[in-house]
């Protein structure tokens, strides 16, 4: 058994990031400025986006995408129950109604047929989530959005970098929101990025900074003007150069990080394939998975313990694991506001009851993965029915 506790996720900030932050702190400018602009350009270049807007979080990016498209009271937005609360919260933030549709049993991504069935004359947008890093069925959603005149927003918090039939997630013209939260594939501690067509980004950029016509950096440059106008009551969602300093280096290391994630996933897949108490995560043909998460589903009828006890047994063996996600419709706010019952979205609820996420961060050595595998198999064998 492993002697030291292995946390579920550790960040991979290195000396280059630290030196870049120090360089920023010694410079004249510590908030949104030249490094943030450079990070936006390099990020857009990496995913092949028409443009990018660096923000304080992915939540901010999702909120701005809806706000810039003037989605609000009286409108409905269709999304998945199998996601983090932020995806649904932003719909509430703009005053629209959350409409949930169930997920596909294999990928746990929003099911295009279920989403189509949930559309009404009030639907304005669909938010898909690329769960765990597996792209949602973008061809189906793009066609559906075009046919019904809807905005297609992608919550790509897990999907950096992910590819759907040759195209990187974020390379289209619709709004795509990325997260640089501490646990995500690329981290700036806190942060996010919105990619989209230039017109949408131009509407979103002032909204991210109080609705002001020109940002502070430009105002305080030599030759800059003190004057500005507020054209709408915007938000305070800008990223600063300290975060961007981290992002610039994390982006350069991303390819190596992904190689490490794929290696861990290959080790897990090989070790767990023969165990009939497990249902392994899938990667459909034609996609490239970002492997933000390694979600393992238990076959509860093959075990004498439930998922919660399985997690406790792993912790006793010094392995940190987690659960992604408690579905939106079982959280008290959403349950009470919309009157949802757990069985209203049966695929998502069934997955929630038997899913757990194993560590897959790039700091894992092969020996760490071997410890995880040993513990997981030991729990399954000890509690086999
Ligand atoms: C992490 C996460 C978010 C929120 O990201 P922040 O950058 O913390 O706002 C949104 N959606 C999903 C699916 C996430 O996992």
pLDDT digits (tens, 9 = 90+) for 136-164: 999 999 999 999 999 999 999 999 999 99
Confidence of residue 45 (pLDDT cuts 50, 70, 90): very high
Confidence of residue 216 (pLDDT cuts 50, 70, 90): low
Around ligand 1, the residues with Cβ closer than 6 Å are: 57-59, 83-84, 86-87, 129, 155, 157-158, 179, 181, 192
Query: Residue 163's pLDDT is what?
Result: 98
Q: By C-alpha distance, which of 131, 157, 83, 112 is closest to 329?
A: 83
Confidence of residue 215 (pLDDT cuts 50, 70, 90): low
Closest-lying ligand 1 atom to the alpha carbon of residue 60: 9
pLDDT tens by residue, 85-99: 999 999 999 999 999
The alpha carbon of 77 and the centre of ligand 1 are apart by a number of angstroms equal to 18
Which of 181, 187, 243 is the pocket-test mutation for ligand 1 (most atoms within 8 Å of CB)?
Answer: 181
Average pLDDT over every residue of 26-41: 96
* Residue 146 vs residues 15, 25, 129, 138, 142: alpha-carbon distances, Å: 46, 46, 18, 12, 6
Query: Residue 225's pLDDT is what?
Result: 80
Residue 314 clears pLDDT 80, i.e. is over it = yes
Give the percent of the chain with pLDDT over 90. Answer: 95
Confidence of residue 221 (pLDDT cuts 50, 70, 90): confident
Confidence of residue 366 (pLDDT cuts 50, 70, 90): very high
| Catalytic residue flag (residue 35) | no
Which of 86, 108, 158, 159 is the pocket-test mutation for ligand 1 (most atoms within 8 Å of CB)?
Answer: 86
Average pLDDT over every residue of 186-200: 97
Which of 179, 189, 238 is the pocket-test mutation for ligand 1 (most atoms within 8 Å of CB)?
Answer: 179
The alpha carbon of 3 and the centre of ligand 1 are apart by a number of angstroms equal to 32
The alpha carbon of 315 and the centre of ligand 1 are apart by a number of angstroms equal to 25
pLDDT tens by residue, 5-30: 999 999 999 999 999 999 999 999 99
pTM of the model: 0.98
Query: Residue 202's pLDDT is what?
Result: 94
pLDDT tens by residue, 241-253: 999 999 999 999 9
Confidence of residue 217 (pLDDT cuts 50, 70, 90): low
Closest-lying ligand 1 atom to the alpha carbon of residue 61: 9
Average pLDDT of the residues of the chain:
97
Query: Residue 92's pLDDT is what?
Result: 98
Closest residue by Cα to atom 1, ligand 1, is 157
The alpha carbon of 147 and the centre of ligand 1 are apart by a number of angstroms equal to 29
Query: Residue 119's pLDDT is what?
Result: 98
Average pLDDT over every residue of 52-73: 98
Average pLDDT over every residue of 300-319: 98
The alpha carbon of 184 and the centre of ligand 1 are apart by a number of angstroms equal to 9
Query: Residue 224's pLDDT is what?
Result: 78
Query: Residue 331's pLDDT is what?
Result: 98
Query: Residue 60's pLDDT is what?
Result: 98
Average pLDDT over every residue of 358-378: 98
* Catalytic residue from among 35, 184, 236, 253: 184
């Amino acid at each position: 058994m492993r002697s030291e506790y292995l946390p579920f996720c550790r960040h991979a900030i290195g000396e280059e990031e630290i030196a870049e932050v120090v360089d920023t702190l010694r410079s004249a400018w510590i908030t949104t400025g030249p490094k943030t602009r450079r990070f936006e350009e390099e990020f857009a270049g990496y995913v092949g986006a028409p443009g990018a807007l660096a923000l304080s979080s992915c939540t901010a990016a999702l909120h701005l995408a809806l706000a810039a498209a003037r989605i609000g009271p009286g409108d409905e937005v269709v999304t998945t129950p199998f996601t983090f609360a932020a995806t649904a919260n932003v719909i509430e933030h703009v005053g629209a109604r959350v409409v949930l549709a169930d997920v596909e049993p294999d990928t746990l991504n929003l099911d295009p047929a279920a989403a189509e069935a949930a559309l009404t004359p009030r639907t304005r947008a669909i938010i898909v989530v690329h769960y765990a890093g597996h792209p949602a069925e973008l061809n189906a959603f793009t066609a559906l959005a075009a046919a019904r005149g809807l905005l297609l927003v992608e919550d790509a918090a897990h999907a950096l970098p992910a590819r759907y039939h040759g195209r990187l997630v974020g390379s289209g013209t619709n709004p795509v929101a990325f997260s640089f939260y501490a646990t995500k594939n690329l981290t700036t501690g806190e942060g996010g990025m919105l990619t989209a067509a230039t017109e949408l980004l131009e509407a979103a950029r002032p909204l991210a900074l109080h609705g002001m016509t020109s940002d502070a950096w430009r105002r305080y440059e030599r030759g800059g003007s003190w004057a500005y106008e507020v054209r709408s009551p915007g938000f305070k969602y800008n990223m600063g150069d300290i975060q961007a300093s981290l992002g610039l280096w994390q982006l350069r290391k991303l390819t190596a990080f992904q190689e490490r994630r794929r290696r861990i996933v290959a080790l897990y897949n090989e070790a767990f394939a023969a165990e009939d108490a497990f249902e392994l995560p899938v990667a459909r043909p034609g996609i490239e998975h970002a492997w933000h998460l390694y979600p393992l589903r238990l076959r509860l009828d093959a075990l004498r313990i439930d998922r919660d006890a399985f997690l406790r047994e792993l912790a006793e063996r010094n392995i940190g694991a987690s659960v992604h996600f408690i579905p939106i419709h079982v959280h008290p706010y959403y349950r009470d506001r919309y009157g949802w019952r757990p069985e209203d979205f049966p695929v998502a609820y069934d997955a929630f009851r038997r899913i757990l996420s194993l560590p897959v961060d790039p700091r894992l050595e092969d020996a760490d993965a071997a410890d995880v595998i040993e513990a997981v198999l030991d729990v399954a064998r000890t509690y086999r029915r």
